[in-house]
Amino acid sequence: MEVGNALLASSGLQKGSEKMRNNTTLICVPIMGEAIAKMMVDMDKAKANGADLIEIRLDSLKNFNPYEDLKVLIKESPLPTLITYRPKWEGGLYDGDENKRLDVLRLAMDLGAHYIDVELQVARQFIDTISGKKPENTKIIVSSHNYQYTPSVEDLGNLVARIQETGADIVKIATTAVEITDVARIFQITVHSQVPVIGLVMGDRGIISRILCAKFGGYLTFGTLESGVVSAPGQPTLKDLLSPYNFRQIGPDTKVFGIIGKPVAHSKSPILYNEAFKSVGFNGVFVHLLVDNIANFLRTYSSSDFAGFSVTIPHKETALKCCDEVDPVAKLIGAVNCIIRRSADGKLIGYNTDYYGAISAIEDGLRGKHNSGSITGSPLAGRLFVVIGAGGAGKALAFGAREKGARVVIANRTYERARELANTVGGDALALADLDNYHPEDGMILANTTSIGMQPKVDETPISKHALGSYSLVFDAVYTPKMTKLLKEAEESGATIVTGLEMFIGQAFEQYEHFTGLPAPKEIFRNTMANY
């Protein structure tokens, strides 16, 4: 990374700003105001919030007077500047004369811009015209954008060579992720390149490229000032990069963990684990992993760098088949929500911590209500326990409740799946449509393990309010939002409620210990989640 350090220094960044860094990857904030005044305000915000440099997107300006405006933007910028004037044919907003556009980039260079971004298609022509005139402190980034897919490693390697041949100081490749496995090819190119590379993968499946580029030696990443105000699909915010992701602390030896799911963006796991890692000084980072095919994912990210994963809907049952060894409890449940890559031999070991998290949270809820902390045995013993859902989490709760001596009933949209799970745990089955009229006794326990009621469909509930009067405790595995419609109506009906957040924290204790080999910092977990 000597090249990266030299370029970091030449960009105008002071050595002091490198303190506490484990990488030289810069965080660049795209500035896309329609007016110069708005851009100036945003530039100050970027500096105040910890950015290293700013990308001034000239194509976003409504009225642009090149000489006057560039002089202000470059001379008065509180941070080093990257000037981009992206044409429509490369995904930008500029739709004017091409020669005038390139003239503006040359002017920006003359006025002292630290970086100029030029598209590969016109790079050779542009660089030829500035031969011998380029200031020492200006670096030319030559960029290529692919808005459809991510090419093969061979094609990416050829693309890097083509960009280098133009005379580029820095290579920038932005591709699009069709699947999360595409990102691995960009990591491969970045880590093995002999020249500075900005390698980013656009879209929700490519977000890890924007965080883990710090591990694999990427030259810079982009972080936005506001959520949703992006210059390319999938950009995280500057705030998120710095915390929860602790971007400055990510280095070549950082272990990668993440939550595998679809959907997955709602998960609070990265907030929880990254805060815990930081608090104890553990060299790891935890990311969202939007995965379509878990077997492909685990095959592709097979190095020891990718050390462990949480697994959520809909992959828990398939995950079990992908593991080399499975914990006996997880095998009985038939689902895995935690995978560890064993450092000794690289084998994948599967566990189920949903069982522990949910059942202990429900038991605590029952003990609290009946003030029976001194009574030995489980407060679930002998109770009628209705589980909604027959997927991975449903299996975990059904198995856990049976182990504690409860009588288990499975309610599922597809009756056949309910019957199948009920047979496995020695319980009864119902179609979900029949649950509203199911009332064999009072004081039952209800556990929703489906995604019904999860954001954005917060007005949905798996059971009507009038039926909730038969239950003494209602648990919902959904924790976004924390108070689902089901829980609100259960509370109004007089039931004790247990939120998915309590299960989430309980199962996370055990996962953290599997991930790190350290005792879970339980107070930190509780305090972190209390803020969300």
Active site residues: 145, 172, 316, 354
Q: Is 208 helix (H, G, I), strand (E, B) or coil?
A: helix
d(CA 309, CA 146): 30
d(CA 40, CA 72): 9
Task: Name the DSSP letter for residue 151.
Answer: -
Tokens of 51: 């950015």
d(CA 421, CA 165): 62
- The 3 state secondary structure assigned to 311-378 is ECCCCHHHHHHHCCEECHHHHHHCCCCEEEECCCCCCEEEECCHHHHHHHHHHHHHHHHHCCCCCCCC
| Radius of gyration of the CA atoms of the chain, in A | 27
Which residues, listed in sequence order, are joined to residue 173 by a DSSP beta bridge? 144, 199
d(CA 361, CA 349): 25
d(CA 52, CA 11): 9
d(CA 332, CA 402): 12
Tokens of 215: 């591990």
Ranges assigned E (strand) in 268-305: 284-290
Residue 136 exposed, middle or buried by CB count within 10 Å (0-12, 13-18, 19+): exposed
Q: Is there a contact between 301 and 182 (Cβ–Cβ < 8 Å)?
A: no
- The 3 state secondary structure assigned to 106-125 is HHHHHCCCCEEEEEHHHHHH
Residues 6+ apart with CB under 8 A from 272: 286, 504, 505, 508, 525, 528, 529
Q: Closest Cα to residue 472, out of 375, 367, 355? A: 367
Q: Is 70 helix (H, G, I), strand (E, B) or coil?
A: helix
d(CA 260, CA 135): 47
How many alpha carbons lie under 13 Å from residue 34 in its C-beta half-sphere?
2
Residue 71 exposed, middle or buried by CB count within 10 Å (0-12, 13-18, 19+): middle
d(CA 379, CA 370): 9
d(CA 220, CA 97): 30
Q: Is there a contact between 492 and 520 (Cβ–Cβ < 8 Å)?
A: no
